[in-house]
Amino acid sequence: MNSEPERFVVPAQGLRVVDPATGQALPEAGATVRGHAEYWVRRVRDGDVTEKQRTQVRPTRAAQE
């Protein structure tokens, strides 16, 4: 059982950041990730991603329609 918290991360504009758990690039709008805490701490520290609270995330255009 993984006790690491979920994080919502958004890649910096123009960067392609891969989630090591899935091997897939994060979408531009961001994604909820789990595990690999050290990896995500480094990505935040280096400015590759921004960690946001779910309430800070604006809805996409498609969600508004």
14-41 tens-digit pLDDT: 999 999 999 999 999 999 999 899 999 9
Q: Is residue 59 part of a domain?
A: yes
Per-residue pLDDT, averaged over 36-63, amounts to 81
The answer to whether position 1 is within a domain reads no
Taking 70 as the threshold, does the pLDDT of residue 43 lie above it?
yes
Tell me what pLDDT residue 5 has: 80
Is residue 28 in a domain?
Answer: yes
How many domains, the chain? 1
pLDDT of residue 4: 76
Cα–Cα dist 2/57, whole Å? 25
Q: Please state, in angstroms and rounded to a whole number, the distance separating the CA atoms of residues 6 and 20.
A: 14
Domain with 26, as residue range(s), is 6-64
